[in-house]
Structure 1
Amino acid sequence: MYAEERQQAIADLLSQRGRLSVNELADRFMVTTETVRRDLSTLERAGIVRRVHGGAIPAASLSVLELAVSERDLTHGERKDRVASAAVEFLPRAGGSLLLDAGTTTARLAGLLPLDVSFTVFTNAVPIASRLAGRGNVELHLLPGRVRRTTQAAVGEETVAALDRIRADIAFVGTNGLSLSHGLSTPDQSEAAAKHAMVCSAQRVVVLTDSSKIGHESTVRFADLSQIDVIITDDGISAEDQKSLTDIDIEVVVA
């Protein structure tokens, strides 16, 4: 069993049982306790579980958990961890206001926010809000709107209107596709409208994407590449794509 398959199975089992110990999981999957702890750390960074003494529990309600443990979240998990870690370097050093888009990589970034810096965070993502709600150094604003079941993201006219009133220091945005000809894109019209409003509401825009999205185009464009300041991706990006992006004055960070 590959690591991502085992992590998926652990998340499914936790959703059924509610709480499991490290020793139970090690016995069940015939791996060492150290391997289980690494798996739980990966799942915790993704906002799927919460580590407790000797084991783990689900991080949120069942509906949020079902989203988080989907194949969408665990695919390219190691790459997304690297991208999120690299994004920490772009956080305002003295604190400030952040827009965190819904997505699996932005959820990982939320879990990496430093504890010794104060941030004002606006997000339309229920899993991210759940993750940050108890943080003493975060002033959290959950954007209004209709919550899509498939992504747990608030979308719609209320979401766009709320974003129109915000001017954040930096937005961290995910995407389903990124190409020179079509810009940043996503399959859903309402998600695209929310993402577009988020891009327009920040002084600086940082896109977090694993390299599998580069060169891919989804149905609805939500931003032109001219609106993007930084793209953080993994080392799967081709030299040709990296040069094409830097040639149009986008900073490309390879994690």
Structure 2
Amino acid sequence: MYAEERQQAIADLVRSSGRASVAELALEFAVTTETVRRDLSALAAARVVRRVHGGAVLTPVPTVVESGLDERDLTRAGEKERIARAATHLLPDSGGSVVLDAGSTTSRLAALLTRDARLTVFTHGVPVASRVAVLPHVQLHLLPGRVRTPTQAAVGAETVRSIGRLRVDVAFLGANGISVDHGFSTPDADEAAVKAALVRAARHVVVLADSTKLGRDATVSFAGLAQVDTLVTDADAPDSLVSALRAHGVAVILT
């Protein structure tokens, strides 16, 4: 067995059991403990496993670190554009109401609204509002609050109270992390409170997120799987997680 094959087998074993000792691995693969330690060092350098005394354990799911809106807008731009275009088919009929979360993909959705769109739009995202404000037939409501610089989103108690008085047809939200155990999550507690309020305010909840967000956890969960009706993501989404989401009742649209 080549070193690469053995290392892949070791990684699979650690993933399945959560941990493995050097002695167990040496016996399993009929190699010396020194060889196992070299293999574990290589896997740890690739962040596949984490070295501990006497062996290795599974690397925890990475926690998402928040980045600025401009940086996020440039990341996977093509995928986000396709996701936004697919989301236009989930808009309510003329005369309906939507709330658009702050974010790079929801901002792209706002840019795709046609000039003859007849909708009532609520948003707490400054870039989203600026794109919708030029549409003559859209009734725009900009939600109040303190604007956070990284996301250019209004947050705080005033924002949450304003959303609490709403009932809209569809909410379109972004997410920084999506997993079965932690649900839909974001790094900032104030943003999470606003997103949770948006979820409660809508008859139909749609999350727009590219596949890099799947299988990751951000610090604060704002919705469980049962609270989201539809996820729109790209075709690189892992099959296992897509199946798990669908099993929990989330309709997944792949673009």
Sort the TM-score into its range (normalised by shorter chain).
0.7 to 0.9
Aligned-partner SS, 2:152: coil
Q: Which residue of 2 is the match for residue 92 of structure 1?
A: 92
Q: CA deviation at 1:69?
A: 7.2
Indicate the residue corresponding to 1:220 in structure 2.
Answer: 220
- Whole-Å Cα distance in 2 between the matches of residues 186 and 240 of structure 1? 22
Residue 80 of structure 1 and its aligned partner are, at CA, apart by 0.2
SS in 1 for 2:222: strand
2:81 equivalent to 1:81? yes
1:16 aligns with: none
| Partner residue in 2 for 1:244 | 244
Shift of 1:158: 0.3
What is the match of residue 182 of structure 1?
182
Residue 95 of structure 1: how far off its partner (Å)? 3.4
Q: Which amino acid aligns with 2:253?
A: V
Distance in 2 (CA, whole Å) between partners of 1:97 and 1:146 is 24
SS at match of 1:136: coil
The residue number in structure 1 matching 2:230 is: 230
CA distance, structure 2, for counterparts of residue 167 and residue 70 of structure 1: 30
Question: Aligned letter for 1:189?
Answer: A
**Alpha-carbon offset, residue 68 of structure 1:** 8.0
Which residue identity does 1:132 align to in structure 2?
A: V
Q: CA deviation at 1:113?
A: 1.1
Q: 1:186 to 1:168 in 2, by over 3 A?
A: same
Alpha-carbon distance in structure 2 between the residues aligned to 1:112 and 1:94: 15
Shift of 1:175: 0.3
Superposition map of 1:195-206 within 5 A? 195-206=195-206
Deviations 1:131-190 (A, max 9, x none): 111210110000000000111100000000000000000000000000000001111010
User: Which residue of structure 2 lines up, in the alignment, with residue 150 of structure 1?
Assistant: 150
Matches within 5 A, 1:111-150: 111-150=111-150
Q: Give the structure 2 partner of residue 33 of structure 1.
A: none
Q: Quote the offset at 1:115 in angstroms.
A: 2.6
RMSD: 1.3
One-letter amino acid of the structure 2 residue matched with residue 187 of structure 1 = P
Helix, strand or coil: the match of 1:175?
Answer: coil
Structure 2 CA distance, aligned partners of 1:201 and 1:220? 19
TM-score by length of 1: 0.72
AA matched with 1:179: S
- Look at both structures and tell me which one has the larger radius of gyration over its CA atoms: 2
Mapped to 1, the partners of 2:101 and 2:123 lie a distance apart of: 6
Which stretches in structure 2 are left out of the alignment for 5+ residues?
Answer: 1-66
Residues 68 and 150, structure 2, Cα contact 8 Å, conserved in 1: no
Identity of aligned residues (%): 51
- Measured in 2, the distance between the counterparts of 1:69 and 1:128 equals 12
Matches within 5 A, 1:7-46: none
CA distance in 2, matches of 1:109, 1:68: 19
Is residue 174–residue 208 contact of structure 2 (8 Å, CA) maintained in 1?
A: yes
User: Once superposed, which parts of structure 1, at least 4 consecutive aligned residues long, lie more than 3 Å away?
Assistant: none
TM-score under structure 2 length normalisation = 0.72
Is 1:193 the counterpart of 2:193? The answer is: yes
